[in-house]
């Protein structure tokens, strides 16, 4: 049996090239015009994005990006590149990195991979929980580009790793040092989704949102149910850290527009904390492996200011896994398990 050349492609969300309004506008246009992000017919999506969002939002978002920008640029991009580099030092495969939106683009990276005569490409979207607006859009974009331009290699996709032991251990151990601060509450804040996107990916068409306690009742729908996977990640972490039920909550952030989104909302929970005398809290964001606008600016700056103005005394943002050594090792183990599951003779 011949040995095959294998490579691994990591894919993260992406970021504007800078916080300048023009760069943010270009990024938001690519991001929000994705049919898996704003999942309405093209004409309506174009009207929403180009008619209502792009005329004003880029300037506002640019100021938000500016507040978290570093000398090296976008934190998400910086951490992702370091993660790739560290992973390359552990694994015997060529490791590539692409962004779903922005640079380095998926198409440019796939061209590089194609030029290297790779035969089997293992794609790892860096989203722990599956969602059509994150994992699925990565998978479909790569399939589309590969089908149109490249035909040399076979594709394999990792769909989610929300309950992977290495991920859970890394996440738990990243939280553990902060527990000594005796917070009143630990808030697990996940990126929100429109409720309709849960039902759209339900392979049974009869479970998500249609069965009482659907996130708890076992179902094959859970393979693609973002909300179930968020709660399952939380359950595994609190079990690992022996956090009591009255010591934590789960919320969902970053909603956009007036359509129904997954509840409860993180900002609503924070306001309720302040009103009821819960003053000292920590927030962790387990749907992100890299710190980004949604963690550093939305939670670490905006939500913190809101909480303090409402009467809270301390909100501490627990950093994402980023490029920590334990996460790099966990991702290396996950990558090896992913490759080994296909039983492909490999070329070192």
The fraction of the chain above a pLDDT of 90, given in percent, is 94
User: For residue range 225-263, what is the model confidence (pLDDT) as tens digits?
Assistant: 999 999 999 999 999 999 999 999 999 999 988 899 999
pLDDT over threshold 90, residue 51: yes
Q: How confident is the model at residue 150 (pLDDT cuts 50, 70, 90)?
A: confident
pTM over 0.85: yes
Q: Distance (Å, rounded) from C-alpha 267 to C-alpha 90?
A: 40
Burial label for 298, CB within 10 Å (0-12, 13-18, 19+), is buried
Length of the chain: 348
Domain ranges for the chain, please list them: 4-162+324-347, 165-317
At 67 the pLDDT is 98
For 235-248, letters b (16+ CB in 10 Å) and e give ebbbebbebeeeeb
Question: Fold identical between 4-162+324-347 and 165-317?
Answer: yes
Distance of CA 199 to the CA centre of its chain: 20
Task: Name the percent of the chain lying above pLDDT 70.
Answer: 98
pLDDT tens digits along 164-194: 999 999 999 999 999 999 999 999 999 999 9
pLDDT for res 152: 79
**Angle between helix 137-149 and helix 106-115 axes, rounded to 10 deg:** 50
Mean pLDDT of 301-310: 98
Question: What is the DSSP annotation of 28-42?
Answer: HHHHHT-TTTS-S-H
The domain defined by 4-162+324-347 folds into: Rossmann fold (3.40.50)
User: 165-317 in CATH: which number?
Assistant: 3.40.50.1400
């Amino acid at each position: 049996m011949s040995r095959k050349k294998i490579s691994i492609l990591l894919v993260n969300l992406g970021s504007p090239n800078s916080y300048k309004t023009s760069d943010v506008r270009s990024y938001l246009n690519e991001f929000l015009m994705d049919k898996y992000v704003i999942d309405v017919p093209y004409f309506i999506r174009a009207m929403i994005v180009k008619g209502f969002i792009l005329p004003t939002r880029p300037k506002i978002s640019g100021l938000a990006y500016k507040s978290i920008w570093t000398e090296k640029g976008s934190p998400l991009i910086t951490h992702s590149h370091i993660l790739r580099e560290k992973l390359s030092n552990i694994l015997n495969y060529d490791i590539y990195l692409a962004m779903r939106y922005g640079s380095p683009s998926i198409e440019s990276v796939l061209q590089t991979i194609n030029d290297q005569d790779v035969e089997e490409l293992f794609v790892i979207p860096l989203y722990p929980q599956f969602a059509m607006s994150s994992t699925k859009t990565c998978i479909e974009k790569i399939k589309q580009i590969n089908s149109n331009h490249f035909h040399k290699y076979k594709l394999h996709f990792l769909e989610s790793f929300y309950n992977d032991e290495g991920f859970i251990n890394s996440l738990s151990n990243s939280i553990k040092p902060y527990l000594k601060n005796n917070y009143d509450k630990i808030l697990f804040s996940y990126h929100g989704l429109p409720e309709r996107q849960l039902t759209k990916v339900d392979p049974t068409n009869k479970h998500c949102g249609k069965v009482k306690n659907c996130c708890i009742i076992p179902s094959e729908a859970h393979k693609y149910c973002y909300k179930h996977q968020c709660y399952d990640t939380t359950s595994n972490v609190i079990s690992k850290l022996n956090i009591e039920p009255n010591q934590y909550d789960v919320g969902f952030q970053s909603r956009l527009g007036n359509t129904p989104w997954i509840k409860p909302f993180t900002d609503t929970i924070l306001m309720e904390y302040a009103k009821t005398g819960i003053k000292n809290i920590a927030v962790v964001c387990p749907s992100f492996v890299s710190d980004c606008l949604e963690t550093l600016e939305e939670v670490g700056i905006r939500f913190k200011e809101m909480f303090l103005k409402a009467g809270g005394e301390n909100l501490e943002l627990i950093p994402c896994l980023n490029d920590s050594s334990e996460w790099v090792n966990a991702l290396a183990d996950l990558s090896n398990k992913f490759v080994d599951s296909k039983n492909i003779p490999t070329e070192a």
